[in-house]
Amino acid sequence: MAMSCKDGKTGSLDNGKYVRYTPEQVEALERLYHECPKPSSIRRQQLIRECPILSNIEPKQIKVWFQNRRCREKQRKEASRLQAVNRKLTAMNKLLMEENDRLQKQVSQLVYENGYFRQHTQSTTLATKDTSCESVVTSGQHHLTPQHPPRDASPAGLLSIAEETLTEFLSKATGTAVEWVQMPGMKPGPDSVGIVAISHGCSGVAARACGLVGLEPTRVAEILKDRPSWFRDCRAVEVLNVLPTANGGTIELLYMQLYALTTLAPARDFWLLRYTSVLEDGSLVVCERSLKNIQNGPTMPPVQHFVRAEMLPSGYLIRPCEGGGSIIHIVDHMDLEPWSVPEVLRPLYESSTVLAQKTTMAALRQLRQMAQEVTQSSVNGWGRRPAALRALSQRGFNEAVNGFTDEGWTVMGNDGMDDVTVLVNSSPDKLMGLNLSFANGFPAVSNAVLCAKASMLLQNVPPAILLRFLREHRSEWADNNIDVYSAAAIKVGPCSLPGSRVGTFGSQVILPLAHTIEHEEFMEVIKLEGVGHSPEDAIMPRDMFLLQLCSGMDENAVGTCAELIFAPIDASFADDAPLLPSGFRIIPLDSGKETSSPNRTLDLASALEIGPAGNRATNNYSTNSTCMRSVMTIAFEFAFESHMQEHVATMARQYVRSIISSVQRVALALSPSNISSQAGLRTPLGTPEALTLARWICHSYRCYLGVDLLKSSSEGSESILKNLWHHTDAVMCCSLKALPVFTFANQAGLDMLETTLVALQDITLEKIFDDHGRKALFAEFPQIMQQGFACLQGGICLSSMGRPVSYERAVAWKVLNEEETAHCICFMFINWSFV
């Protein structure tokens, strides 16, 4: 038998003859194919009975037709994919050729300038022999900054400014007005976000990006003009005036406000001119610049609590691409007035890398995300929730960090310490829709919102690693009593979500909701089990649900802000529902690339236990010797009754201070200097109990299996523990209980389970196996207890994060104590890896 994939009317080759189908038969088969592309033998026979038109066709011929049809469908999809890749590569090749031409022009200009400066240097050398007063005065006057007269802001003057802005922007986007260097960590290619560069040696901070997006130019311009929809730090953009131009373009006068990144610096605002026009080649241009030193026109006076920053000629060059889509050049060039912030924060306002990450690349990511959403439907019942994502990060957390008075926030007096700032908001706009009306039949009486916030400097800890630990180990810093209060204050009721499940952990991700294309941020629902309380029964614990946003989890990204923001929700949660977000924001202050082991948080909790000796000894971690600095901002919001204001304020201050203390412990344990230093430190694994357990494990293994578990010949307890801890296979012990739980694991075991020594005791043995694995394991338990050991076949188990782990084989043996009685069961998973 052979198959043909060329024609829908060609069914099969049987005994050397083609079987041809009539148009009616093909139509019937196509209809059946769309219902079931791969029917079983029984289903194919049923099809023949149900469709008389197919009664003269053998079931084997029907089977071959479906095989051919699936083959054609696969070929069609592959051809479509290759065509799309070819179009993308063609556009990218054009973009790279243009970039190459620009670089050649820049090289030519640099060669010319080098020759000019060489001649000028020789002339200056001769001129310096003249020490006359005139020469000295002339030399000094060369550095005076010229004073420009005010610009005319009448309609004709604004058009002149707009055309000048357009020329300067294009010289930056495609010319050599700015010396661009490739952004560290960015590798251009068809799958990258684009070609990203940062400025070198120009005034202010500047970034440029070039990329291909699958949207038409007019749609691209529409999205980019709506800056608050994609730029999280943008509080508002107000268009105050619109002027049409004779060439069909428009001039707009804008006032824009940006949120402050931390509680330690004021927010920024801009008074802008935006010019939209179409070039002769059909390209669409949107360019902007600040309006400074103007007369005879509208102005924007300084606004309280904002520092007026300057936008130098910036914008977007959007060109249509053959085959659909657009090629876009983005330039962001700003002077963020770094003098207005504490010196320790100035790198944030003087770094072009930070500007590229937060603004330039954010625009490209938004365009790529919008293009993808055009062609894809929602991934689940909740969809992608862009409004909810903005509500968490923009309308919620940024408002809490900034606490603007025009939004109703007022600052409370401190308690003698100024480390934590407390604000109160009782405005109707803040309270409206916060589930504060009637929830589950019970009236809510909370009528105000309190925010406690603080910022702290972190030394030598990567933001991505710290944030990942805070996300994965909530119990290390969160207070269940506070979670109970937060749930009760806004009347969070029981929540029934698609995909929810019951588990044994204190917090559990039950529903990933959304992620960006680059997977640099994602939104999820987590369940805190037994935390909330129902209004009907204040004694019975109920599950509490949080909507949570995580971003900046990529350890290799440069200058990336890491955020973990969450808010209580219930089943009535709507897409645009107001929220009370709380959480963390960590911003690196050093632009150097962070290099660290991705496994460093997996055993972090072991460095946080148990008493004064709680730090780790030397481990073979690969870390950067340079000092990494970052600033963390913490903000927590609480709904409360007005007469409880002082009590809630005291509680909030204490809670934030306890979180700061917990974060400091975590950061200290993560610090490479503390990890690599042994002075005054003692590993928690070096306790007498751990040393004794290691000795029992190795002794029992030798007794039952007749060989040594460890290759080292040293007999010292500390050497045994060290070698066991660094054993390449995953070694872990579980208790001898009706429901065995893990009590110990070496480094490989913690990595395999994706957990820590502290969290390890929350994991039961049966949770890491599926039904087949549990049955096989329980069948071997009698042999382990009677014979003392058992060899298990290879299979699949699950980490604590739900990831499948394959192992080649496993060994289980009974661990005997000094009295030769069973202390625990030890497992060793050999040659394991994540699937």
pLDDT single digits (tens) 66-109: 888 888 888 888 888 787 777 777 777 777 777 777 777 767 77
**Average pLDDT over all residues of the chain:** 76
Average pLDDT over residues 246-261: 93
Average pLDDT over residues 421-427: 89
DSSP at 143: T
Q: Who wins on pLDDT, 326 or 686? A: 326
Report the pLDDT value the prediction gives residue 598, as an integer from 0 to 100.
36
Q: Are 366 and 200 in contact (CB under 8 A)?
A: no
CA 378 to chain centre: 20
Buried b (16+ CB within 10 A) or exposed e, 433-462: ebbbeebeeeebebebbbbbbbbbebebbb
Task: Tell me the C-alpha distance between 624 and 588, whole Å.
Answer: 14
Task: Tell me the C-alpha distance between 656 and 149, whole Å.
Answer: 52
Average pLDDT over residues 351-377: 83
Q: Are 202 and 178 in contact (CB under 8 A)?
A: yes
Task: Tell me the C-alpha distance between 673 and 623, whole Å.
Answer: 9
Would you give the end-to-end CA distance of the chain in angstroms?
37
Q: Would the pLDDT of 381 be above 60?
A: no
Structure tokens at 421: 């700032």
Strongest mean pLDDT among 128-142, 277-291, 512-526, 774-788: 277-291
Q: DSSP 3-state assignment of 399?
A: helix
Structure tokens at 642: 């007005």
Kindly report, residue by residue over 521-574, the tens digit of the pLDDT: 677 777 776 554 444 444 444 567 788 888 887 666 656 788 999 888 765 555
Task: Tell me the C-alpha distance between 27 and 10, whole Å.
Answer: 13
Report the pLDDT value the prediction gives residue 434, as an integer from 0 to 100.
54
Report the pLDDT value the prediction gives residue 329, as an integer from 0 to 100.
93
Report the pLDDT value the prediction gives residue 54, as an integer from 0 to 100.
80
Q: Would the pLDDT of 26 be above 60?
A: yes
- Split at pLDDT 50, 70, 90, the class of 337 is very high
Average pLDDT over residues 460-476: 85
Report the pLDDT value the prediction gives residue 251, as an integer from 0 to 100.
95
- Helices and strands in the chain: count of H runs, count of E runs: 22, 32
Closest CA to 216 of 320, 68, 303, 305: 320
What is the sign, positive or negative, of the torsion defined by CA atoms of 692, 697, 700, 701? Answer: negative
Structure tokens at 628: 């990494």
Report the pLDDT value the prediction gives residue 610, as an integer from 0 to 100.
34
Strongest mean pLDDT among 63-67, 402-406, 796-800: 402-406
Structure tokens at 223: 């999205």
**Helices 361-375, 217-225: inter-axial angle, 10-degree rounding:** 120
Q: Would the pLDDT of 376 be above 80?
A: no
What is the sign, positive or negative, of the torsion defined by CA atoms of 299, 305, 310, 314? Answer: negative
- Split at pLDDT 50, 70, 90, the class of 258 is very high
Report the pLDDT value the prediction gives residue 333, as an integer from 0 to 100.
96
Task: Tell me the C-alpha distance between 576 and 217, whole Å.
Answer: 29
Q: Would the pLDDT of 142 be above 70?
A: no
Report the pLDDT value the prediction gives residue 813, as an integer from 0 to 100.
92
Q: Would the pLDDT of 38 be above 70?
A: yes
Q: Would the pLDDT of 136 be above 70?
A: no
Structure tokens at 775: 């049955």
- Split at pLDDT 50, 70, 90, the class of 700 is very high
Structure tokens at 828: 């060793």
- Split at pLDDT 50, 70, 90, the class of 387 is low
Instruction: Give the predicted TM-score (pTM) of the model.
Output: 0.64
Q: Would the pLDDT of 303 be above 80?
A: yes
Average pLDDT over residues 660-674: 78
Q: Are 634 and 264 in contact (CB under 8 A)?
A: no
Q: DSSP 3-state assignment of 129?
A: coil
What is the sign, positive or negative, of the torsion defined by CA atoms of 524, 525, 529, 532? Answer: positive
Residues 6+ apart with CB under 8 A from 352: 198, 199, 205, 206, 207
Mean pLDDT is lowest, of 40-54, 281-295, 677-691, for 677-691
% of the chain residues with pLDDT over 70: 72
Structure tokens at 824: 């625990």
- Split at pLDDT 50, 70, 90, the class of 314 is very high
Report the pLDDT value the prediction gives residue 244, as an integer from 0 to 100.
93
Q: Are 707 and 811 in contact (CB under 8 A)?
A: no
Report the greatest alpha carbon distance in the chain.
Answer: 112
Report the pLDDT value the prediction gives residue 681, as an integer from 0 to 100.
31
Kindly report, residue by residue over 183-199, the tens digit of the pLDDT: 876 665 555 667 889 99
- Split at pLDDT 50, 70, 90, the class of 363 is very high
Average pLDDT over residues 38-50: 80
Kindly report, residue by residue over 223-240, the tens digit of the pLDDT: 999 999 889 899 999 999
Report the pLDDT value the prediction gives residue 143, as an integer from 0 to 100.
38
Q: Which residues pair with 565 in a beta bridge?
A: 549, 583
Q: Burial, 302: exposed, middle or buried (Cβ in 10 Å; 0-12, 13-18, 19+)?
A: exposed
Q: Are 94 and 86 in contact (CB under 8 A)?
A: no
Q: Are 29 and 39 in contact (CB under 8 A)?
A: no
Average pLDDT over residues 410-439: 72
- Strand 151-152 and strand 294-295: the pairing is parallel
Kindly report, residue by residue over 735-779, the tens digit of the pLDDT: 888 788 888 999 889 888 887 776 787 788 888 887 777 888 888
Mean pLDDT is lowest, of 87-101, 348-362, 621-635, for 621-635
Structure tokens at 61: 């011929």
What are the contacts of 3-10 at 24+ separation with CB within 8 A?
3/64, 3/67, 3/68, 3/71, 4/68, 5/68, 5/71, 5/72, 5/75, 8/69, 8/72, 10/68
